[in-house]
Structure 1
């Protein structure tokens, strides 16, 4: 199964300025290619913005280069020459004057951005290999040219194997989005409860240590990005991490993955496992936990990666010390400690089905707002009511 972590594992061309790079699993042809793809419907049920002030951007890669989709359904490579006199591209796809907008989604891997009330500024640049790449919006950076624009995105890979897609709050949350995927099954992801957007903002503002992540009525920023910008304490999770490392210095931690069960003990600052393979992890920092990176980086190797993902999820959900057998699968146990990723908790509380992508390892035990279909016939992205 393709999960978000394999789907978004790393783009060769390098996405500039985002929390995640978009992986190139899709097969596509370079150059100007007529998209023979999946019907994509965009529905504006926001209740706050007319279709005339909503813009869509479909950007990503085709496995060899960064690409974008034109309003006519053509798959075109990103080019530095696309930058206009203001220094930015205009890849906006306007919505129909009223009702649902129907587009064609070609085989590629990428993001569908929605911008409300103004256009986004994507800058085409050259990466370290001299290839064209895009500087994506970074709504958590106050100097970013898109900071003042209300925007959000969904992520997808559409290839010969099918459609794999999710809504995400890994970097931030601003616009309520929901996906309906029709094919072998009829599935949805990302549907929020009535009034959820306002409740997300108010709930997060009321949690000690998380209030500065709320940016007016524009967005709430994920704590990892908040940490980098001085909005969130760099050592917030340190006592919880220390507690877990201390606990497993004197007892076993068992982590079960598809490869089997790993048994771990702490010695010094190393948590070392034996079992299907020998893997070890240095004590992570708060930033490592929030970004699911650094000492908790998860290579797609079937051994270290899954163990790292389970550890990262347990630390975000505050279950690692209390549950010596991981992964924890009962959501009633999640986020019950004072030191937890309460940003992710708020996102899950807001979802109708309890599923959200509040951090990168939220797919552990199946709690992510992720769906897939091997025989897709239609995808619908809806801007749901604010």
Structure 2
């Protein structure tokens, strides 16, 4: 219900505070609460119910007559519908859900990458040929199945947040300030996570090209470093992406200065590591002047969304078909080198 109350405050915030307006607000809030409870009773989630209620009661011009606001409004401009208003609690749940999704997807892909490990270290174990083959195949299929399961489950976690891609959004004042403070705390950890992930991918060939105290563990250690590196890159990219989506797609917080219109006044420039509105506006101006197509940008983002999964699948297929494990790992080095350029292309709409 906090979402609906925030929405009402943003929609009516530009009107003078009079007894008539307060009465109309209470009546409208009661109708919205009744509809919200009815939708929850039908089995809808809170996000779906809130979105439906806002869509049904979001046009103040249509409701003005029934609420007795027509005379109060007079010639005053009716505030525009600010769209979906995200509260701080909802925004934090969104961050938590997308972080969990990234962790599950990263673990799933890491399991798939390290699944062939047993083929290389099983020779060093005191096992019969049959036991060795059983261990190798079991390790491969169990980890591949677990990895696929994690990836599938992670894909379901974003169902409640599909509206982030389609709905007009605005952040409540508390949500905007809270997320700004949280980004300031998280940005260093996100950058460090990304840097460590790239470093692990670059250093992963070392076990293969150097002599280890015990033979047979060069490739397993290489796969483990690659898996951890990919996990860290996925986690860092997902955290940065959800902050970017919340701050870029949403309008500025309704309230003082915005009049509850939902018009964007500031954009968070996450590429520069600073939520500075002026940097964001300059970025938007440069993008408009460049003339790049939004469709191309969307295509590049689609490629990035499954980038590491595709790299991992190519690596496994190539390795099992060629059995050239000493070279196929280079695909991760090439992938890590290309990834920053693809992200720049997506951000600039190329």
TM-score (norm 2): 0.23
More helix by share: 2
- Give the greater-gyration-radius structure (CA): 2
